[in-house]
Each structure stands twice: as structure tokens, then as C-alpha cells.
Amino acid sequence: MNQDVKEILYDEAALARRVAELGKAISQDYAGKDLLVVGVLKGAVVFFSDLIRAIETPLEMDFIAVSSYGRQTSTTGKVRFIKDLDVSVEGRHVLIVEDILDTGNTLKYLYDVMCSRKPASVKICALLDKPSRRTAEIDADYVGYVIPNAFVVGYGLDYAERYRNLPYIGVLKEEVYQ
């Protein structure tokens, strides 16, 4: 275990099982549909990579990048667009894949942007959901785990661009980010 991690919430095996379950559900829901899976960079990239391999229906993938955290532990409330999609979503079924649904500000922004582009549908898949911190009215259609209000890292999630490569999701010690 990394010395900066207080406790492990979900180990590699638990993550693999849950991603497989999500992939199966998504495969069933999107069977026969024109699916575009949109990964939100950078945090969702590890989850996204495992998830798309667990989805058994044909899909196309693309990435979008936004920021509302910078190098802080809480959102600034201002969403900044860094990279847009390379493909059109018009008439397509869009699945936004995010690492964590926290305040909901970022995902609400992305959801609204995607909906304005005339897709057939837009749904959200979040590995982690932290409903205790929600300030925007938005929910994920697919959720890996509901977690308590703790600062988590690993499996793509970071603090100041570190810890993304941990193979598990753990709670970061408070002294690291205070």
C-alpha cells in the first residue's frame, strides 16, 4: 500500500468484478444501437479502458477534457473546457464515462453540452458516486460504487496529478493534501 493512503476502499479484484458487471449491463442496454463512449480525461482513462473492453456491443470511443479542480481537493465550481470531441454526436447514443460524480457540476455541464448537440440519447457511467457532496441536479445511469465523503485516489483518480497509477481506490491521508 502506498504510504500516503490511509485505507483501501476497493482492491483490484473488486474493481475488475464491478467493471465486468457494468460492461454487461451496458452491453445489454445498447445492443444494436450506435454507441459512442466518451471518456472524460484524465481521471476516467483507467476505468474507461477496462470498461470498453467489458462492453460486448460494437462501439466507437472518443475523449473530452474539462477541469474544475486544478491542483485543489475541491471543485472551483467553474468548468473549463480543455479538449472537445473529434466526432459528431448527432443522432448517436452517447455514454459519458467519468471517474467520480462528486458535486455534479462538471458532469451536468458535459451532459448539457452533449444534449445540445442533438444525440439520440445521453447517459452517464461513473465509477464512483459521492452523493453527499452533490450541488448540481444530476445522477449517473450506471454507478460502480457509492462512496462516503472522503478524498480518494488511485485507478485513475489523482491528487495534484499523482496517485493515478495505483491499482486500487484508496482514501488519501489528510496530511498529504492539507
The residue count of the chain comes to 178
CA distances from 89 to 109, 115, 167 (A): 16, 9, 32
Check if 102 is active-site.
yes
| Catalytic residue, candidates 50, 99, 102, 129 | 102
Backbone angles phi, psi at 146, to 5 degrees: -95, 130
Contacts of residue 74, defined as CB under 8 A and 6 or more positions apart, other chains included, come to: none
In angstroms, the CA 68 to CA 77 distance is 6
Active site residues: 102
